[in-house]
Structure 1
Amino acid sequence: MYETIQNKLTKLKENKIFEFFVVAVIIISALEIGAKTFELTDTAISLTGVLDIFITVFFLFELTVRFITDNDKKNFFKKGWNIFDSLVVAISLIPINDSEMALLARLVRIFRVLRMVSVVPELRVLINSLIKALPQLGYVVLLMFIIFYIYAAFGSYVFKDINPFLWGDIAISMLTLFRIMTFEDWTDIQYETMEIYPWSWIFYLTFIFFTAFAFLNMVIGIVVNVMEEEHSAMKKEKEPSMTELQNEIRELKSLILTNQNIEKPKS
């Protein structure tokens, strides 16, 4: 009985129409969350309430299907995306009206949009790549922070009297440098200091070279490299290796030869 239900749910899970329907429900959930930020009529509020119940029940059903069809149920809740989906579904079951947890329930419902990532494999690859790249990115970020700190201290000491609003202390100076790194009207800041210190253009150009050109390109390179590794790993999981295929071919040959020897008439 259980195996029959499991087989039927497995077919349902692997059905493309069901996958598209899951994605459609996630999109509807996102639209429903956005609609609640507007002033709605009583009819629309009732409709969104019913829709919210349907979405929550459907997500619970979809998570149950995934759990039943999973071959390794012991490790089901050890996988990051399964834990995330389970938490979102569990907290979505909290009633919103007249509840101390109402704000938390509303905020968690916003994260239901992220379920699109757990459903679409390509999006999972992107997120996994970013997570796996964090250790390598940490060293780049640390080096970037050191550069920021040095330039911010220099800018605060030298340019503080010119514009205290931008260079008043080291914290404000770091925010100003972030603005310069993102090229947000940075030339206005440069020309202001160049009126007093004509050589200050060197300060800005060297900072932009280190941050916007060198470090950001390092970050992009690390992320792209990890992403390629994730794509390769995903392809290896989907496609059987050549060794496995060769072993299967050998087994088939041995079975065929064995059957031929058995069926061969004795002389």
Structure 2
Amino acid sequence: MSSELNPTSGFEQLRRIESSKLFQGAVIAIIIMSALTIGAKTYDVAPWLEQSLSVLDTGITLFFLLEILFRFGVCNDKKRFLFDGWNLFDTLVVIGSLIPLDNSEAVLLGRLLRVFRVLRLVSVVPELRFLINSLLKAIPRMGYIALLMFIIFYIYAAMGSMFFAKVNEDLWGDVAIALLTLFRVATFEDWTDVMYETMEFYPLSWVYYLTFIFLTAFVFLNMMIGAILEVMSEEQNAEQAQKAHDERDDIARQLQAVQEQLKELTKQVSGKSGER
């Protein structure tokens, strides 16, 4: 049977189109165009250009709608299409983009969801998806590091409030304000001004700041980076193992197909020999 009459062959062709670099490149180009359109609307432009941007935005929304419907159509397991987080995100963004902007109550929501269309670039580019997935999976490990960091922040904030409240009430008046001050120190935002101010009353207070910066800016930051890199390494190894497994399965299917063809040829040869 020819491939034109074979539904499976036609479905595979659509699958190849959906996974092709040309199709993915077109989607990326439209996403970039959408980002430029959103940025252009933040400027004061001529009325004719504003109308052109609105028409272009409508065309982009229509393209995204057709693209998500096409992806749903070529999906092997349509019932689990939305179980994929990226498919769910893309679908919600596309549905949100269909909100009419002429409704005053929905204008802000519609514009916000149109801004999120730029994030679709993450779901289209595999490398960006890999980074985001690794970051999300590293959050539980980073949570314990963040908890330990908060404990250190709280201890130093309590000490700072006890010792330095008389120096500057605005910076060290209570624990909450001291936490904000320590966050300023941790981000190196004019932290030396804070240190020199307390050193006028407590000359050895530089030890307080240096130990705090060493723990937060060097130790805990490197622990955060290490946790993310460890998860990325695990994800990369798992992806390579899955790829190798898929290649073995593909080779096994090809070998099985070759064996079946050999059996068919053997039967045909045996049949012709029997006829003779």
TM-score (norm 2): 0.87
Q: Give the direction of change, closer, same or farther, for the CA distance of 1:17–1:261 in structure 2 (3 Å limit).
A: closer
User: Which string of whole-angstrom CA distances, capped at 9 and with x for unpartnered residues, describes residues 74-105 of structure 1?
Assistant: 11011111111111100100110233211111
Structure 2 spans left out of the alignment, 5+ residues? none
Q: How does 1:1-267 map to 2 (within 5 A)?
A: 6-240=11-245, 244=249, 247=252, 251=256, 263=269
Does the CA contact (< 8 Å) of 1:6 and 1:68 recur in 2? no
Using the TM superposition, give the Cα deviation of residue 134 of structure 1 relative to its aligned residue in structure 2, in angstroms: 0.7
Q: Percent identity, please.
A: 52
- Residues 1:45 and 1:242: Cα distance change in structure 2 (over 3 Å): closer
Tell me how far 1:47 sits from its aligned partner: 0.9
1:10–1:36 Cα change, 3 Å: same
Once the two structures are superposed, what CA deviation does each residue of 1:57-88 show, in whole Å capped at 9, x if it has no partner? 01111111111111111110111111111111
| 3-state SS in 2 of match to 1:50 | helix
Q: Distance in 2 between matches of 1:6 and 1:250?
A: 23
Which structure 1 segments of 5+ residues have no match? none
Aligned-partner residue type, residue 44 of structure 2: E
Cα distance change on mapping 1:241 and 1:113 into 2, 3 Å:
closer
Q: Using a 3 Å threshold, how does the CA distance of structure 1 residues 256 and 23 change in structure 2: closer, same or farther?
A: closer
User: Which moves more between the two structures, 8-17 or 106-115?
Assistant: 8-17
Q: Secondary structure at the match of 1:98?
A: coil
Q: CA deviation at 1:248?
A: 5.2
Deviating beyond 4 angstroms after TM superposition, the runs of 4 or more aligned structure 1 residues are 1-5, 245-266
- Alpha-carbon RMSD across the aligned residues, in angstroms, is 2.5
Could you say if the C-alpha distance between residues 246 and 37 of structure 1 is closer, same or farther in structure 2, counting changes exceeding 3 Å? closer
Structure with greater contact order relative to length (CA < 8 Å, sep ≥ 6): 1
User: How much does 1:182 deviate?
Assistant: 1.6
Tell me the amino acid that sits aligned with residue 134 of structure 1. I
CA-CA distance at 1:6 after TM superposition = 3.7
Give the distance between the partners of 2:144 and 2:53, measured in 1 at CA: 46
**Secondary structure at the counterpart of residue 100 of structure 2:** coil
